[in-house]
Structure 1
Amino acid sequence: MKTHTLRARLLEAQLDLAHRQERSVILLLTGHAVTYKGQLVNELNHWLENRHTEVHALGPSSEERERPYWWRFWRRVPDRGRIGIFIHGWYGDALFARAERRLSPGAFRDRLAEIRAFEAELAAEGVMLLKLWMDIGRREQRRHLQALQADPIRAWQLSPTDWQRHLQHAAITVLGREMRHATAADHAPWHRLAFRDPAIQLQRVGGLLHQTLVAPCARPTEVPESAPDGVSERVPGEAPAPPSIRLSDPRIKTSLKKSRYAARLAKEQGRLAINAREAARRRIPMVLAFEGLDAAGKGGSIHRLTAALDARQYRVHRIAAPSDEELALPWAWRFWRRLPADGRIAIFDRSWYGRVLVERVEKLASEPAWRRAYAEIREFERQLLAHGTVLGKLFLAISQEEQLRRFKARAATPHKRHKLTEEDWRNRERWDDYRQAIDEMFARTQSPGAEWTLIACDDKRRARLAVLEEVNRRLEMRLDSAH
């Protein structure tokens, strides 16, 4: 195909992608040094409508180092209708760290397993991936480096890292082959491009991108609920055995007197204030996920919790129906983007568990999507823990009788009526469906460090104290282990 014809067809396909906004595309280039990656991307960007294209070639910033590793890539996933171009991307970190022996063989395999999971999740959400390995022989690479170094106009393009990569050529070749073999999939194919003249390379890359843009969306044929084979013990395997907690557990019936409650509340809030300050000093992040039945008291419990914290240290994220911006991106994006920096606290009033609760019961997500979510959630939480995050998952439970009493009280109280909606009554009619979904959620997402805590909430005072005690317990466990 002639260059001008290919360029016109590529632009037409890109504009169709932007118009339909049904999917997004990621083009990733990695491989050996001095293979025209930067030049290729610059030229390709001139072929494309750059209002619908974004290019990323960057190392981690200080802000990104304060969050779990994958945060910096999740926040750069392109919106539906857009093309994201990554130079090295998530592959460069693993490849070069292993070549320099900063990653052990086992850690390298673990990272490749994370990459497979990440790319499968993107593909399942409508992101098409095209991955290019830029190849060059060692002798040819050396001649090219020497030619660049001798050219006063282009010598600035070279860096000491390019020569270092030349010395590592054999290792990068072997590791690149292992990496491509481990991460190739129908929904995330690899293409190896031998070193050629830049104009020929541009023609090949443009052709592959055009094929990707006009091809049917390639989604994983099956996303298992367990981790891929060969993953080390750090990655969750099969869903664990059902935990000892179930929604149908008996409720505490006795009420706590107001005077005793006030004294215990002040004590637990003071304890939390000390623990939170120490966690901030040690740069330990914390994520709290609050789930629960309607009228169980999530808002009141969160209010008593935050009353003990410095307002500069925490953020409360109330998760509702996704916005237009969130609908244009993969489902997990809106939770990744809200993760706290080291030393900060993120409190989620409703969370990523909505996919396996309300979205499941109300059929807002397809069955394959919510079934797939169990593995995605376990991997998400594993990455939080691997970063050193203190993770608390609290489910606030209430009996049917107490829920009905609170609904009626809200309806009869003018300043509380806004809290009661038709949706609350509709959810109550599906109590058994929610109970089944909740018990399965407990069973499939319970793991060390990410255990669920069931809070009995028929007595609000006892429930609020139980929340504070659990948060303090988790913080103190981490602070004690960090000595």
Structure 2
Amino acid sequence: MKESLRYRLLSAQLEMARQASRSVVLVVTGHAATGKTALINELNHRMENRLTEVHALAPSSEERARPYWWRYWRRLPARGRVGVFVHGWYGDALFARAEQRIGPGAFRDHLAEIRAFEAELAAEGIALVKLWLDIDAEEQGRHLQALQRDPSRAWQVKDHDWQRHLQHGVLETLGREMREATEAEHAPWRRLAGGPRHAPAKTVERRLVTAMAGPLPSVTPPEEAVTPLAEAPPRLADLPVPTDKAMDKDDYLERLARAQARLAGNAREIQRRGIPVVLVFEGQDAAGKGGCIHRLTSALDARLYRVHRIGAPSDEERAHPWAWRFWRRLPLDGRVAIFDRSWYGRVLVERVEGLASPEAWRRAYGEIRRFERQLLAHGAVLGKLFLAVDKDEQLRRFRARAETPHKRHKLTEEDWRNRERWEDYREAIDAMFAHTHGVDGGWALIDANDKRRARLAVLDHVNRLLEARLDAPR
């Protein structure tokens, strides 16, 4: 039976890797001295460890300089693989509360974030296995003493293990609250006896076989509290009727120089204070996003920013949840990340072109709101700019590109195809504004029919965002 179960586990893992239609995340947490390390080592020995990654995390300085969830998103296993997290996001919340580094409200808030995070993973085809290893306080104390008396094993006992022993009752109570708050059909808990007298590996192996080969459970996204907006979201119909008179070039260049000098000063102070900046550019084809970004970056130190041009996902990106490729591109504190198209592609091009299912793009509105709230909670400046042109101006720019040798590469068959679905995109854009125009992460709708005015409007908006952040109480 022992070999049979081991064979089933290995076979299920290899078949999961072959199909590459799901991945498995195993979280192992619980009391100290329950044998978590021994359990994981045994599982790793029984599985194909080239397809398994184990993470026992103490946050690095690089991770502290990014939003909290970045450290976990970047380590999620690709489809066909297994990711094992020792304590993981649960240990962060549990031990911080036990040590009174956070209060009960912050603890509950973190558990709510966990529920949303795990629902997002499950919806993307990640099977979750969550284990809590138990041990009686007296047995825990005897086991720690026995380990410490054994010269060959004393190294296993750390100061924090004795601290966890003293906190046994507190951790038992908090662990129960944590499990109850994060129990879900798609993310169930299994409570197992640990310690030297117990060997839970067989039970865990069975659960892993089910996670690798069994049916994936349905997912119900957590309900969100809706924050009333101070102002109505923008709509494309709000754009003014374009004027035929272009902005004077000399006036434009003078104002551009002033705006860029202002931006350079703001950016230096942002960098000095260690404030991250995330700028999102969306817009209709030929609306001038590239030109606006170029005028923006011309005022910045090239060492402090990065422009991410987002197109179709790579094979590596398709093997992960759709938001993974955006999380991994977030900037360090004091740096600027500029997204030329972004996560909003999920509710724009992927919606209109049928590249995402209706269930997926409708779910994405809530996932985007949570993502952006986490950026803001970390202290980031978030700017979202949509550049809009009318249909006649877009056609004029398409023709100009076709007739200009050094611009022909900018015009593709996809641009013409998207133009044929103008009204479908218009509907998707207005829905995007309605669902994601947050209190702090609001959209700026930029009239881009006149490129010069649009570039100045973009610079002015970004400057105002940075200045508002710099003027805010620390």
Correspondent of 1:274 among 259, 265, 273:
265
CA distance in 1, matches of 2:130, 2:432: 35
1:232 equivalent in structure 2: none
2:5 equivalent in structure 1: 6
Cα shift at 1:218: 2.0
Does the Cα contact within 8 Å between 2:292 and 2:455 map onto a contact in 1? yes
Alignment partner of 1:129 is 2:128 = yes
2:292 equivalent in structure 1: 301
How do 1:85-234 and structure 2 match up within 5 A? 85-195=84-194, 197=196, 200-220=199-219, 222-223=220-221, 226-227=223-224
Cα shift at 1:373: 0.3
Cα shift at 1:69: 0.1
How do 1:76-475 and structure 2 match up within 5 A? 76-195=75-194, 197=196, 200-220=199-219, 222-223=220-221, 226-227=223-224, 237=226, 243-249=232-238, 250-253=240-243, 254-475=245-466
The one-letter amino acid paired with 1:223 is P
Cα shift at 1:62: 0.4
2:54 equivalent in structure 1: 55
Does the Cα contact within 8 Å between 2:23 and 2:212 map onto a contact in 1? no
CA distance in 2, matches of 1:134, 1:98: 19
Cα shift at 1:404: 0.8
Unpaired runs of at least 5, structure 2? none
The one-letter amino acid paired with 1:357 is L
Alpha carbons of 1:302 and 1:446: their partners in 2 closer, same or farther (altered >3 Å)? same
CA distance in 1, matches of 2:375, 2:308: 17
Does the Cα contact within 8 Å between 2:140 and 2:195 map onto a contact in 1? no
Cα shift at 1:468: 0.4
Does the Cα contact within 8 Å between 1:359 and 1:365 map onto a contact in 2? yes
CA distance in 2, matches of 1:18, 1:47: 16
The one-letter amino acid paired with 2:43 is L
CA distance in 2, matches of 1:251, 1:457: 12
Cα shift at 1:197: 4.4
Greater Cα shift, 209-218 or 411-420: 209-218
CA distance in 2, matches of 1:208, 1:128: 10
Q: TM-score, normalised by structure 2?
A: 0.97
Deviations 1:309-352 (A, max 9, x none): 00000000000000000000000000000000000000000000
Does the Cα contact within 8 Å between 2:229 and 2:439 map onto a contact in 1? no
Cα shift at 1:199: 6.8
Alpha carbons of 1:347 and 1:81: their partners in 2 closer, same or farther (altered >3 Å)? same
Alpha carbons of 1:288 and 1:110: their partners in 2 closer, same or farther (altered >3 Å)? same
The one-letter amino acid paired with 1:373 is A
CA distance in 2, matches of 1:252, 1:463: 12
Cα shift at 1:372: 0.2
Alpha carbons of 1:408 and 1:74: their partners in 2 closer, same or farther (altered >3 Å)? same
Cα shift at 1:277: 0.5
CA distance in 2, matches of 1:248, 1:242: 16
Cα shift at 1:237: 2.6
Cα shift at 1:194: 1.4
Cα shift at 1:204: 2.0
SS of the residue corresponding to residue 376 of structure 1 reads: helix
Cα shift at 1:195: 2.5
CA distance in 2, matches of 1:304, 1:378: 29
Cα shift at 1:414: 1.4
Deviations 1:185-223 (A, max 9, x none): 111110000125477222222222122222112240x32
Cα shift at 1:439: 0.6
The one-letter amino acid paired with 1:175 is L
CA distance in 1, matches of 2:183, 2:469: 38
CA distance in 2, matches of 1:455, 1:208: 52
SS of the residue corresponding to residue 302 of structure 2 reads: coil
SS of the residue corresponding to residue 21 of structure 2 reads: coil
CA distance in 1, matches of 2:228, 2:192: 40
CA distance in 2, matches of 1:239, 1:44: 49
Does the Cα contact within 8 Å between 1:239 and 1:444 map onto a contact in 2? no
SS of the residue corresponding to residue 361 of structure 2 reads: helix
Q: TM-score, normalised by structure 1?
A: 0.96
- Alpha-carbon RMSD across the aligned residues, in angstroms, is 1.4
Cα shift at 1:244: 4.3
Sequence identity (%): 67
Deviations 1:248-291 (A, max 9, x none): 22244142100000000000000000000100000000000000
Cα shift at 1:163: 0.4
